Structure 1
Amino acid sequence: MTEKREYTDDYPDKTLYLPGPTEVREDVVEEMAQPMFGHRMDRMTDLYTTIVEDTKEFLDTEQDVVVLSASGTEFWEATTLNLVDEEILVPTSGAFSERQANVAERLGKDVTRIEYDWGEAVKPEDVRAELEAGDYDAVGAVMNETSTGVRNPIEEIGDVLGEYPDTYFVVDAISCLGGDFVDIEGHNIDCIFTSTQKAFAMPPGLAVCTVSEDAYERELAKDSASWYGGFQRALDYYDRKGQTHSTPAIPLMLAYRKQMKHMLDEGHRARDRRHREMAEYTREWAREHFDLYPEAGYESQTVTCIENTRGIDVAETVERVSEEYDMVFSSGYGDIGEESFRIGHMGEHTVESIRELTDAIEDVADL
Structure 2
Amino acid sequence: MDKREYRDDYRDKRLYIPGPTEVREDVIDEMAQPMFGHRMDRMTDLYTTIVEDTKEFFDTEHNLMVLTASGTAFWEASTLNLVDENILVATCGSFSERHANVAERLGKNVDRLEYEWGQAVKPEDIRAALEEREKHYDVVGVVMNESSTGVRNPIEEIGDVVAEYPDTYFVVDAVSALGGDYVDIDAHDIDVIFASTQKAFAMPPGLAVCVVSDEAYERELSKDSASWYGGFQRAFDYYDRKGQTHSTPAIPVMLAYRKQMKYMLEETHEGRSERHREMAEYTRDWAAEHFAMFPEEGYESQTVACIENTQDIDVAATIEQVSEEYDFAFSNGYGSQLGEKTFRIGHMGEHTVESIEELTDAIEDVAGL
TM-score (norm 2): 0.99
Cα distance in 2, alignment partners of residues 324 and 59 from structure 1: 39
Cα distance in 2, alignment partners of residues 131 and 28 from structure 1: 45
1:165 maps to 2:166: yes
Cα distance in 1, alignment partners of residues 216 and 319 from structure 2: 43
Who is 2:48 aligned against?
Answer: 49
User: Could you tell me which amino acid in structure 2 is paired with residue 274 of structure 1?
Assistant: R
Deviation at 1:135, TM superposition (A): 1.0
**Which 5+ residue runs of structure 1 have no aligned equivalent?**
none
Cα distance in 2, alignment partners of residues 139 and 21 from structure 1: 28
Cα distance in 2, alignment partners of residues 277 and 39 from structure 1: 40
Who is 1:350 aligned against?
Answer: 352
User: Could you tell me which amino acid in structure 1 is paired with residue 138 of structure 2?
Assistant: D
Deviation at 1:144, TM superposition (A): 0.3
Deviation at 1:162, TM superposition (A): 1.4
Q: Pairwise CA RMSD of aligned residues?
A: 0.5
Cα distance in 2, alignment partners of residues 94 and 145 from structure 1: 6
What are the equivalent positions in structure 2 for 1:82-101 lying under 5 Å apart?
82-101=81-100
1:305 maps to 2:306: yes
Cα distance in 2, alignment partners of residues 270 and 185 from structure 1: 19
What are the equivalent positions in structure 2 for 1:144-293 lying under 5 Å apart?
144-293=145-294
Cα distance in 2, alignment partners of residues 103 and 15 from structure 1: 33
User: Could you tell me which amino acid in structure 2 is paired with residue 280 of structure 1?
Assistant: E
Who is 1:338 aligned against?
Answer: 340
| 1:82-125 CA distance string (max 9 Å, x none) | 00000000000000000000000000000010000000000111
User: Could you tell me which amino acid in structure 1 is paired with residue 241 of structure 2?
Assistant: R
| TM superposition outliers: structure 1 runs of 4+ over 4 Å | none
Who is 1:362 aligned against?
Answer: 364
What are the equivalent positions in structure 2 for 1:8-19 lying under 5 Å apart?
8-19=7-18
Cα distance in 2, alignment partners of residues 319 and 58 from structure 1: 38
Cα distance in 2, alignment partners of residues 51 and 287 from structure 1: 40
| 1:46-85 CA distance string (max 9 Å, x none) | 0000000000000110001111101110000000000000
Cα distance in 1, alignment partners of residues 181 and 129 from structure 2: 27
Cα distance in 2, alignment partners of residues 315 and 165 from structure 1: 48
The number of aligned residues is 366
Who is 1:129 aligned against?
Answer: 128
User: Could you tell me which amino acid in structure 1 is paired with residue 351 of structure 2?
Assistant: H
Deviation at 1:40, TM superposition (A): 0.2
Cα distance in 2, alignment partners of residues 320 and 105 from structure 1: 41
User: Could you tell me which amino acid in structure 1 is paired with residue 184 of structure 2?
Assistant: D
Q: Identity percentage over the alignment?
A: 79
Deviation at 1:10, TM superposition (A): 1.2
Cα distance in 1, alignment partners of residues 48 and 149 from structure 2: 36
SS of equivalent residue, structure 1 residue 341: strand
Cα distance in 2, alignment partners of residues 69 and 311 from structure 1: 41
Cα distance in 1, alignment partners of residues 205 and 121 from structure 2: 28
Cα distance in 2, alignment partners of residues 60 and 322 from structure 1: 39
SS of equivalent residue, structure 1 residue 32: helix
Who is 1:4 aligned against?
Answer: 3
| 1:106-149 CA distance string (max 9 Å, x none) | 00000010000000000111100111123100101000000000
Deviation at 1:9, TM superposition (A): 1.6
Deviation at 1:254, TM superposition (A): 0.2
Deviation at 1:229, TM superposition (A): 0.3
User: Could you tell me which amino acid in structure 2 is paired with residue 222 of structure 1?
Assistant: K
1:72 maps to 2:74: no
Cα distance in 1, alignment partners of residues 205 and 138 from structure 2: 31
1:319 maps to 2:316: no
1:31 maps to 2:33: no
SS of equivalent residue, structure 2 residue 193: strand
Deviation at 1:158, TM superposition (A): 0.5
SS of equivalent residue, structure 1 residue 294: coil
Cα distance in 1, alignment partners of residues 346 and 205 from structure 2: 16
Cα distance in 1, alignment partners of residues 162 and 185 from structure 2: 13
User: Could you tell me which amino acid in structure 2 is paired with residue 102 of structure 1?
Assistant: N
Deviation at 1:165, TM superposition (A): 1.1
SS of equivalent residue, structure 1 residue 37: coil
Cα distance in 1, alignment partners of residues 162 and 231 from structure 2: 23
Cα distance in 1, alignment partners of residues 187 and 240 from structure 2: 25
User: Could you tell me which amino acid in structure 2 is paired with residue 236 of structure 1?
Assistant: D
TM-score (norm 1): 0.99
